[in-house]
Amino acid sequence: MRKQAPYYRQTWAAINLDAIHHNVSSYYQFLKKEREIMAVVKADGYGHGAIQVAEEALAAGATWLGVALLEEAIELRQAGIKAPILLMGYLANEYFSIAQSYDVSITITDIESFIDIEKYISAEHSALRFHLKIDTGMGRLGLWEEEQLDTFISLYKKYTQRSHPNLMWEGIFTHFATADERDQSFLERQISKFNEYVARLQQEKITVPYIHLSNSAGIFRTEALQYANLVRLGISMYGLYPSANVREELPFQLQEAFTLHTKLSLVKKVDSHVGISYGLTYRTKKEEWIGTLPIGYADGWDRNLSNASYVLIQGKRFPIVGRICMDQLMVRLDQEYSRDTPVTLIGKQGDQEIKIDDIANTLNTINYEIPCKLAKRVPRMYYKESQNEKQ
Ligand SMILES: Cc1ncc(COP(=O)(O)O)c(C=O)c1O
C-alpha cells in the first residue's frame, strides 16, 4: 500500500479499501465475466483518492479506468498504473497527442473534433485510440442525430484508407439520464436509439472492440443486451446507491468505503443565553458543554449543515450548534469530554451511524457530491479490515 504524506491535523477521512474490493468483485461476479468493468475514478475517485481506488478496483477484477480530465489520466499513469484509461469528457484537439503519449483513450464528442483530426495525431506515439460518444437522451456530449454517424463513418473510412492513420476506433458508448429511476421508459428509449447506431456500424462492417452504455444504475437493467461488453462503474464501487430504487433492486449489498473523523480540540462549560459562532445563531438554553472541532467549510463540511446536523462521540449523537466556520465548528455536548476525544462525522460509533446519504438529504443533494466536495486538505487514510491496520 502507498505511504501517506505526513500530516499534523486531527481531521481525516478513512477509506476502507476492502469495501471497494467487495463492491467491484460483487459486480464482477454478477456480470459473470461476460463484461469488463471500467472503474470510474474521475474527480479523484469521487473524493476517495483515484490512485488507491484504481489499484484496488483493478485487483478486484476491473480492467479499465474512467476519468473526466487528461490531468486525471496522467496522474494515474505517473503512479505507474498501466491499465487502459478512457478519458470520458471533452478534450480539445490540440491535446490529442498528449493523450497518445500517455496511452490514454479519448472520447470523440462531436463531428467537429473529428473533421481535421489527422492534423492533431502524432506519428511518434502509438495510435490515438478513441471511443465515439452518442447522445441518446442525456443532452450533454455526443452525436445526437443518426445522420451524423454516416458523416462520421465516411470520415473514418477516408482516414483509414490512407496508409498510416495512427488512429484506432476502440469503442462506442452512450450515457443514461434516468437509469436510477423506477420508471424505465426513457431508459428503454435511450437503449433503442443506441441499438440503431450499433446496427448501423454492423451494416457498415465496422467492428469496434468495446460497446458500453451502463453506469452503476444501468448495469442490471441492460443484462439482455448481447453486444455490450463493458460497464462503467462509478458510485456503487464506492458503496453508495445511485438512488433508493437501486438500493431496493440490487441483488447484492454494497459496503460504504468512506468515513470522516476528527477530534475535539476544546471543551468548555458555557453559561446560559450565550451565543455561539458568527452571527450568534445559536444561544445556550442553560449551562451547556460546548465542544470545538477542527473542521469547517474550507474542508468541504458545508456551511448549510450549521444548526442542522450531528456528530458522534462515544456512540452518542450531538448537534452542530451555531454557524460552521471556515476551519472549525461547535457541537453541544452532554458532559465534559477530554480534548482529543475522537469524533465521527460520517460513519459508525456503537449503534449510531451517520451515513453519507443522511448528510446529502440534509443538504438536499445527492450522495455523489458529499465525498467529492471534501477538500484536498482533509487527508485520506487507507486501510484494509483484513489487515486490521491504518496506514
Ligand atoms: C460517462 C459516465 N459514465 C459513467 C459514470 C459513472 O456513473 P455512476 O457513478 O452513476 O456509476 C459517469 C459518472 O457521472 C459518467 O459521466
Residue 384 lies in a domain: no
- Distance between Cα 188 and ligand 1 center (Å): 18
Residue 181 lies in a domain: yes
Q: Please, are residues 260 and 345 in contact by the beta-carbon 8 Å criterion? A: yes
Please give the single-letter amino acid code of residue 191: I
Q: How far apart are CA 121 and CA 306, in angstroms?
A: 52
Q: Please, are residues 112 and 81 in contact by the beta-carbon 8 Å criterion? A: no
Is there a single domain that holds both residue 221 and residue 151?
Answer: yes
Residue 186 lies in a domain: yes
318 phi and psi, to 5 degrees? -125, 140
Residue 367 lies in a domain: no
Question: Which of 199, 217, 249 is where one domain is finished?
Answer: 249
Q: How far apart are CA 175 and CA 204, in angstroms?
A: 23
Check pocket membership of 43 for ligand 1, CB cut-off 6 A.
no
> Grid coordinates 471497494 are at which residue?
20
Contacts of 135 (CB under 8 A, 6+ apart): 141, 142, 143, 144, 174
Q: At what angle do helices 50-59 and 17-30 cross, to 10 degrees?
A: 40
User: Which CATH number does the domain housing residue 300 bear?
Assistant: 2.40.37.10
- Distance between Cα 60 and ligand 1 center (Å): 19
Check pocket membership of 23 for ligand 1, CB cut-off 6 A.
no
- Distance between Cα 342 and ligand 1 center (Å): 34
Per-residue pLDDT tens for 11-31?
999 999 999 999 999 999 999
Check pocket membership of 40 for ligand 1, CB cut-off 6 A.
yes
Is there a single domain that holds both residue 224 and residue 277?
Answer: no
> Which ligand 1 atom sits closest to the C-alpha of 233?
11
| Residue located nearest, by CA, to atom 2 of ligand 1 | 175
Is there a single domain that holds both residue 312 and residue 184?
Answer: no
> Which ligand 1 atom sits closest to the C-alpha of 236?
11
Check pocket membership of 216 for ligand 1, CB cut-off 6 A.
yes
Residue 378 lies in a domain: no
Q: Which three cell numbers stand for residue 375?
A: 477538500
Q: What is the pLDDT along the chain (391 residues), one digit of tens a residue?
A: 555 677 899 999 999 999 999 999 999 999 987 899 999 999 999 999 999 999 999 999 999 999 999 999 999 999 999 999 999 999 999 999 999 999 999 999 999 999 989 899 999 999 999 999 999 999 999 999 999 999 999 999 988 887 567 999 999 999 999 999 999 999 999 999 999 999 999 999 999 999 999 999 999 888 778 899 999 999 999 999 999 999 999 999 999 999 999 999 999 999 999 999 999 999 999 999 999 999 999 999 999 999 999 999 999 999 999 999 999 999 999 999 999 999 999 999 999 999 999 999 999 999 999 999 999 999 999 999 876 544 4
Q: How far apart are CA 377 and CA 148, in angstroms?
A: 45
- Predicted confidence at residue 223, as pLDDT, reads 78
Residue 243 lies in a domain: yes
User: Which CATH number does the domain housing residue 165 bear?
Assistant: 3.20.20.10
Probe residue for ligand 1, chosen from 44, 212, 232, 367 as the CB with the greatest number of ligand atoms within 8 Å: 232
Q: How far apart are CA 276 and CA 283, in angstroms?
A: 6
Q: How many domains does the chain have?
A: 2
Is there a single domain that holds both residue 269 and residue 245?
Answer: no
Is there a single domain that holds both residue 234 and residue 275?
Answer: no
The β-bridge partners of 231 are 37
- Distance between Cα 30 and ligand 1 center (Å): 19
What is the DSSP secondary-structure string of 227-270?
Answer: S--EEEE-GGGGT--SSHHHHHH-SS-----EEEEEE--EEEEE
Domain range for residue 151?
17-249
Per-residue pLDDT tens for 267-291?
999 999 999 999 999 999 999 999 9
Active-site residue flag, 42:
yes
Look at the alpha carbons of 235, 236, 239, 244 in this order and tell me if their dihedral is positive or negative: positive
130 phi and psi, to 5 degrees? -135, 155
- Distance between Cα 134 and ligand 1 center (Å): 14
Is there a single domain that holds both residue 332 and residue 216?
Answer: no
Is there a single domain that holds both residue 320 and residue 339?
Answer: yes
Check pocket membership of 129 for ligand 1, CB cut-off 6 A.
no
Is there a single domain that holds both residue 243 and residue 316?
Answer: no
Check pocket membership of 133 for ligand 1, CB cut-off 6 A.
no
- Predicted confidence at residue 390, as pLDDT, reads 45
Catalytic hit among 42, 133, 197, 310: 42
Residue 377 lies in a domain: no
Check pocket membership of 277 for ligand 1, CB cut-off 6 A.
no
Is there a single domain that holds both residue 123 and residue 192?
Answer: yes
Question: Which of 199, 220, 249 is where one domain is finished?
Answer: 249
Probe residue for ligand 1, chosen from 175, 237, 372 as the CB with the greatest number of ligand atoms within 8 Å: 175
Question: Which of 212, 231, 249 is where one domain is finished?
Answer: 249
Host H or E run for residue 349: strand 342-349
Residue 4 lies in a domain: no
- Distance between Cα 351 and ligand 1 center (Å): 33
- Distance between Cα 76 and ligand 1 center (Å): 18
Active-site residue flag, 337:
no
> Which ligand 1 atom sits closest to the C-alpha of 68?
16
Determine whether 174 is exposed, middle or buried from the number of CB atoms within 10 Å of its CB (0-12, 13-18, 19+): buried
Q: How far apart are CA 148 and CA 201, in angstroms?
A: 13
From the list 252, 192, 190, the residue with the least C-alpha distance to 215 is 190
| Residue located nearest, by CA, to atom 14 of ligand 1 | 234
Q: Which three cell numbers stand for residue 371?
A: 465525498
Host H or E run for residue 321: strand 316-321
- Distance between Cα 133 and ligand 1 center (Å): 13
Q: At what angle do helices 70-78 and 50-59 cross, to 10 degrees?
A: 70
Is there a single domain that holds both residue 79 and residue 222?
Answer: yes
Check pocket membership of 89 for ligand 1, CB cut-off 6 A.
no
Catalytic hit among 7, 278, 376, 390: 278
Is there a single domain that holds both residue 196 and residue 316?
Answer: no
Host H or E run for residue 175: none
- Predicted confidence at residue 207, as pLDDT, reads 94
Is there a single domain that holds both residue 242 and residue 263?
Answer: no
